[in-house]
C-alpha cells in the first residue's frame, strides 16, 4: 500500500459529489489500503477517497485512534436522532484549523464493507465522523456546516497558516 497526496482546501474536488462504488475488486482493496496508510501519515481519524482526488464513495474511519481502521463503501445515513451534539472538527485537507460543528448525536449507517452490506449504529465521536465523511462524499466540505462568520474566520486562519509554511 502507499501514502497518497491529500488534496488541500480550496481544491474544487473537495466540493464534488463522489460516485458509488460498483466494482468490488483488488483495485478497491488497494485503494482502501492506501487510505489507511494515508490517514496514519496525515494524521487523522477519518478520510475519504475524494480527499486523495478519487471521486468514489469510500471512507476509512479509525475511532479510537488505537483501534483497527474500519472501511465503509457506499455509506449512507438511514436514521438520525433529533438530539444533537457539538464536536470540534477539522480536515486532513485543511490541517491546522478546527471549529465546533453541531451534528446528530446518534446515526444509523448503511454501508458495505469490502464484501457485503452492513449496518452500524454510532453515537458520539463515531457518529460525528460518519456525518463528516458522508458530507465529504456528498461534496459538502465541513466548513459549509459553519455560520458564514465562522467559515470566514476558519478560512482566514488556514490561509495564514499556509502562507507561513
Give the model confidence (pLDDT) of 122-141 as tens digits: 999 999 999 999 999 999 99
Cβ(30)–Cβ(37) below 8 Å: no
pLDDT digits (tens, 9 = 90+) for 75-84: 999 999 999 9
Reading the chain (165 residues) residue by residue, the pLDDT tens digits are: 799 999 999 999 999 999 999 999 999 999 999 999 999 999 899 999 999 999 999 999 999 877 899 999 999 999 999 999 999 999 999 999 999 999 999 999 999 998 877 888 999 999 999 999 999 999 999 999 999 999 999 999 999 999 987
Q: Pick the closest to residue 93 from 149, 153, 12 (CA basis).
A: 12
Catalytic residues: 133
Q: Pick the closest to residue 10 from 121, 110, 93 (CA basis).
A: 93
Query: What proportion of the chain, given as a percentage, has pLDDT over 90?
Result: 91
Which of helix, strand or coil describes residue 16? coil
Cβ(141)–Cβ(14) below 8 Å: yes
Q: Tell me the CA distances in angstroms from 61 to 11, 13, 64, 165, one per residue in order.
A: 22, 20, 9, 28
Cβ(92)–Cβ(44) below 8 Å: yes
| Residues 62, 38, 117: CA angle, nearest 5 degrees | 50
Amino acid at each position: 500500500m502507499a501514502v497518497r497526496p491529500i488534496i488541500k482546501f480550496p481544491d474544487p474536488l473537495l466540493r464534488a459529489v463522489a460516485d458509488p462504488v460498483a466494482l468490488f475488486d483488488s483495485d478497491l482493496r488497494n485503494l482502501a489500503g492506501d487510505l489507511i496508510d494515508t490517514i496514519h501519515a496525515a494524521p487523522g481519524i477519518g478520510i475519504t477517497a475524494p480527499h486523495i482526488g478519487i471521486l468514489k464513495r469510500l471512507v476509512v474511519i479509525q475511532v479510537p485512534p488505537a483501534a483497527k481502521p474500519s472501511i465503509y463503501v457506499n455509506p449512507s445515513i438511514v436514521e438520525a436522532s433529533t438530539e444533537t451534539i457539538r464536536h470540534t472538527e477539522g480536515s486532513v485537507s485543511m490541517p491546522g484549523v478546527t471549529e465546533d460543528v453541531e451534528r446528530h448525536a446518534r446515526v444509523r449507517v448503511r454501508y458495505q464493507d469490502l464484501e457485503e452490506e452492513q449496518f452500524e449504529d454510532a453515537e458520539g465521536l463515531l457518529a460525528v465522523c460518519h456525518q463528516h465523511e458522508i458530507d465529504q462524499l456528498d461534496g459538502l466540505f465541513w466548513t459549509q456546516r459553519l455560520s458564514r462568520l465562522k467559515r470566514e474566520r476558519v478560512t482566514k486562519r488556514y490561509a495564514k497558516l499556509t502562507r507561513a509554511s
